[in-house]
Every structure is written in structure tokens, then in C-alpha cells.
A and B are shown apart, each in its own frame.
Chain A
Amino acid sequence: MTTKHERYYVPAQSYWPIVGAVGLFFIAIGLANLIHVFQPGYDTSLTKSILLLGVGVSVIIFMVSGWFNHVIKENMAGLYSAQMDRSFRQGMIWFIFSEVMFFAAFFGALFYIRMFALPWLGGEGSKPLTLDLLWPNFVAEWPLLNNPDPKYASPNEVIPWHGIPLLNTTLLLTSGATITWAHWALKVGKRLQLNLAMFCTIALGLTFLGFQIYEYSHAYMDLGLTLDSGIYGSTFFMLTGFHGLHVTLGSIMLIVILVRCLRGSFTAENHFAFEATAWYWHFVDVVWLGLFIFVYIL
């Protein structure tokens, strides 16, 4: 008796991971240089830093679009099977697991600082000697506008929640609604609505990024709120910056998906790439909601 096995496609060796690593390397070097441009004692060129960063971002965009292109072509050529579909789902779940752990670490740092480290420095609980011996004049408050060590310049102000942060929250919430509209349109086979809703989602995401860039320049130029202006600045830029990177990646993914929607690649029965990307966009939106509440409001 013979058993018929399902065909399993094994792709050829891929060069995209190493291309991505090179892109990340340039981004890391570019960002590290950019941070030091305005620091006294460092001879770092702004133009070179931006150039390095630009090379890194370009390589990443090239990698993401090229890699997606390969996968899409393999899919369209009918090389994939049910087993491959399960592999994609496994890949998605591990990717999301790593993302959840990533943001949990940064949110955890914020909560630890606010709930433990700062109150202890302020002498709370069993730590009165900590206050007396380290910085006796320190007042624990949040946002921290008076760093305990005067060596580190404190920010003059922080960004109020009701300006750009509220606007950006509205933009991302609306984009969550438009991607849901697109999702529904795909399920019921309304292609025009699908394309229109996808376009709106991308436009909202890019507008969000534009406002975030404006907010950062305002923080650096006018408020003295920088990555090294104490623990508030550090956590603020780490959390919102990494979220911004995720919005950038999500926008690139959405643009690829829009192109595929325009080509009519998805059907109501075959659209895992669409649903995975839509879910990722919802995830990024919920992370922002957490940031809006815990960084800007409470």
C-alpha cells in the first residue's frame, strides 16, 4: 500500500537576511552618530550621520520589498501548500511573540522607574537613607523635570497630551477603523472599497509619522526634552521612537498589500498576507494606546 504525501516546497537559499543585517548595521551606526552630533566633545558630522542612516533605511526598504516580492512570486506560482500555510502562521506567531516581549520590556522599564526607582530615590518606604545620602534635595515626581544629578540637564517642559499626541491617537484610531473597513470589504468582495480603505489607512499612518517627526523636533529644539535629559526623556524617546519604527514598518507592509490589492491578488478564501498585516497594524495601534495612556496621560 502506498501513502500519498503532500508536496512541500523548500525554497532556495535566500540572501535577504544578510541584506537586512547590513541595513540594520547602517541604521545603528547612523543613529549612534546622529545622537552624538549635538553632544559637546564629539566631532560628528550631521550630514554623514543622516547619510549613513539614509543608506540603512534604504537598504531595509529594498530588503523588505525584495523579500516580499520573492515570497509573492512563489505564492502566485502555486508553489505553496497547506503545510507552507501553517509555516507562515508559525512565523507570524513567533514574530508577534518577539514584538510583545520587546514592548513588555520597555513598558516594564517605565513602570519600574515610576513605581519603584523614583519613589526610592525620593526616600519613600524603607529608603529614607537613600534620599539623605545621595541627593537630599531630590523631589520624586513624574514627569521628572528635576534630575537628581545636576550634571544632566533636565527638560524645561514635557509634551502635553492634548496637542499632537491626542491628534496622533485620533489618526491611529481612525486608521484602525479604515483597515477594518478594508478587511470587511475584502471578505465580501468589494474591491473598490478595499482599495480606498487601504489607501486611507496608509495616508493616516504616514500623517501620524509626519506629526511624530514634528513633535520630536519641537521637543529637541524648544523644550529641551532629549534622549539624554534624564529618565523621562530616555523612556519617552525609547518607547515612542520604537513605536514610530513599527508604524514605519507597518506602513511599508500596508503599501505592499495595497499594491497586491490593486493587482487583485487576494480573494475571500486566500488572503493570509492581508490579514496578518491588518492584525499587525491593529497591534501597533494598541501599543500606541498604551503609550498615550502611560506616557502622556497617567
Chain B
Amino acid sequence: MDSPSRPDGDARTRRGPDAGGLVLLLLPALAVVWVLFGGGLALGLVQALGYLPVAGLGELSWGHFARVLTDPDFIRSLLLTFYIAGTSTSIAAGISILTALLLASLVERSRVIHFMFQVPLTVPHLVIAVAAVFMLAPAGLFSRAAVALGWIQTSADFPLLINDTWGVGIILTYVWKEVPFITMMILAVLRQSGNALLDVGRTLKASPWQRFRYITLPTIFPAVGAASLIVFAYTFGAFEVPFLLGRTYPMTLPVWAYKNYSDIDLLARPEGIATGIVIALVVMLAVVLAQMLTKAARKRGVIL
């Protein structure tokens, strides 16, 4: 009987530092993360629990969390944030799947296309948000182009895409920014084994649709899932784009947290931090799910 394959067999026999040694080696880097991130989170939690001597608050309680969670505005903001993060992530994932499939063979042949797709990854969200204002605002580039082409009579006829009810501007900005990221993740999987599996599918009599349904989708699912969860986590916790392109009411949670935190009334600060901690929990949950998906995919031999 053949013994089960052990892809990590080489790693097991390779000499290297043990777990304790590894922790020691990583300690300088870990200390910075713990102090800056963990310390900040702990300080925020203490303040969210009501310990803010500068504002005359010294008693620890869950009161601020309770007030935040029962505030109708919080629920509206939470729903709006979920809507924007969920919609933009879903649209970006859908476009990314189609783009990756179209580009799969092209990218293999052309490094230029590969490079072009990496460029948007380096552009900050804030720059894209400002560009969205210039293009999508009622007096923006598109509106004026539509007037010039005679599609609309005046700029006022142009649909409201910035600071609008449905967060179109925010969603478009996120979609533009996140499509390359998810596409690159999918392309990495397709380049690794996707095309070879499709060839197998062809010789095993699968039609083009069957190959997409039974080979491509299951192959890229972990990559799409993990990338989408990361994108969701980012868009759920991002502040600058909805701050620039969103409405004043209801606000997304990060904007709401920022407003409370930076309120002139110091008593609003614990509620702002409590909101931030709720955001952090949702983001961490998404990241943990992404990690689980990645781990499950790696166990199956898919490299992400």
C-alpha cells in the first residue's frame, strides 16, 4: 500500500529553529505590533468602557456600548455600511471573475497586461475618491460630457451619483479600486492549475459551460471568497471614501465613529470608540473567515 503523500515532508526534515526560537526571533517585530495595535485597542476598549479622566469619567461599565447598540442611528449606519461593503464587494467579485477568465490566457502571454492590472493597486483610495468627485459630481466631467453630447439639457439633469441615497459614488470607487485586487488573486489560481484542469475537463467531455460550472468556479472559489472577505473587511472599516462621497445622514459606521470621536463634546468620545470597536470586531471576523478559507484551500493543494 502506498503511503499518503506528504507535501511538507521536506520541511519536516529541514533543520531550523524550534517554536520557542522562532518566537524569540520574531519578538522585536511582534512587540511593535502588540504595543501599537494591541495597546491602542486596549486603550480604546478602556475608554469605550467609560474610563476617560480628562472628561471626568472614571467608572468602567458597558453603558456606552449599550447606548451605541440601541441607538436607531447606529442600526441605520450599520445597515448602510453593510449595504455599501456588501454591494461593492459583490459587484467587484462578479466583475473580477469575468475579467480574470477573459485575461487568463492573455496574461500568460503578456506581462504588460499583468503589470497594467497591478497599477490600480498602488493608487490610494483617497485619490480615487477625489477622481470620482471630479467625474461623477453634477458639475463633473461626465455630466458636462453628457450635456455636450446632447444626452441631457443641463447638468442638473445628470443623476445624483455623489453624496446620494444609494451610495453609488462610494460603491463605484470601491469597485474600481478592488476589481484589480480580486482579479489578481483569481489569476494567480488560474495560472497555477486552472488552465491545466480545464484541459483535463475538455478531454473528459465537459462542454464550455460545464467546465465553467464544475471546474473553474470550484477552483477559484477559495480565492474569490478570501479576496472578497478581505475587500469586505477593508470597505467596512474604511473612512475616507464615504466621508468624501457619502451623505451626511445616515453615515457609514466609520464616519459616524469619527464624528463622535472628534466631537467637541468629550463625552461623545467613548461612544465613538465603542463604535470603532464594533467595526474592528466585524473586520476581524471577516479576516478570520478569509484565513479559514485560505487554510482550507491550501489543504487541498491550492496556492493563494
Q: Do A and B associate with each other? A: no
